């Protein structure tokens, strides 16, 4: 039996784009225009010389030749090339700033194995409230791989709001409305 390595998908954003980009599959993304919104990918993000991102970024590796205005989280590392600008906090396993690159913010160097809770990460209880269903159903859906979810080494489930919003829109779903009780008590 032959195994073929899965080729990483490449995505090129070269026009003005507004919204969030969250990819579940591995992909390398190149931004050569203006992007307003959060980017969350499993791959490398490259911001070209004339490009600008206004929003939070989460990727395996981030290479900046242009500008980012927002916090950056990168497991493998962040590289600011000559002429690049980054206004935001950096959380990465390595941070390289070339001569004539500019950085305004705080930097936290972390070990690659440390998993950091992102602002969009939700507990099963928060996810149940977001989807307007009970917690047991959320766990059952996660265990059966019916909704996007991840499990930590200790067995605790966690969910990403951006991934769930994407899943809802791709499946043309809407959270069910909250049902009011039909019983009325008189005093």
Average pLDDT over residues 130-156: 86
Encode pLDDT of 82-107 as tens digits. 999 999 999 998 999 999 999 999 99
Report yes or no on 175 lying in a domain.
no
Containing domain of residue 71, as a range? 9-109
Longest dimension (CA), the chain: 76
Closest by alpha carbon to 102, among 76, 83, 126?
83
The mean pLDDT value of the chain amounts to 82
Q: Which of 58, 79, 109 is at the close of a domain?
A: 109
Evaluate if residue 152 carries a pLDDT over 50. yes
Number of structural domains the chain divides into: 2
Residues 29 and 89 in one domain: yes
Is the Cα dihedral 165, 39, 105, 85 positive or negative?
A: negative
Q: What is the pTM of this model?
A: 0.59
Q: Look at residue 67 and tell me whether its pLDDT is greater than 90.
A: yes
Look at residue 159 and tell me if it is in a domain.
yes
- Point out the domain boundary residue: 83, 109, 135: 109
Between CA 145 and CA 138 the distance in angstroms is 10
Domain shared by 52 and 144, yes or no: no
Q: Of 84, 93, 97, 89, which Cα lies nearest the Cα of 71?
A: 89
Predicted confidence (pLDDT) per residue in 5-40, tens digit: 445 678 888 878 888 888 877 889 999 999 999 998
């Amino acid at each position: 039996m032959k195994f073929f390595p899965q080729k990483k998908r490449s995505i090129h954003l070269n026009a003005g784009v507004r919204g969030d980009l969250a990819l579940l599959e591995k992909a390398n993304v190149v931004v050569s225009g203006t992007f307003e919104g959060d980017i969350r990918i499993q791959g490398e993000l490259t911001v070209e010389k004339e490009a600008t991102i206004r929003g939070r970024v989460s990727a395996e590796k981030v290479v900046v030749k242009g500008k980012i205005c927002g916090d950056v989280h990168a497991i493998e590392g962040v590289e600011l090339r000559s002429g690049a600008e980054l206004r935001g906090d950096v959380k990465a396993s390595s941070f390289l700033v070339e001569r004539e690159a500019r950085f305004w913010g705080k930097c936290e160097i972390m070990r690659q194995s440390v998993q950091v809770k992102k602002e969009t990460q939700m507990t099963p209880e928060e996810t149940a409230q977001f989807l307007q269903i009970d917690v047991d159903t959320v766990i059952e859906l996660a265990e059966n791989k019916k909704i996007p979810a991840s499990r930590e080494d200790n067995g605790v489930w966690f969910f990403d709001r951006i991934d769930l919003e994407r899943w809802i829109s791709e499946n043309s779903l809407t959270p069910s409305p909250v049902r009011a009780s039909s019983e009325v008590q008189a005093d």
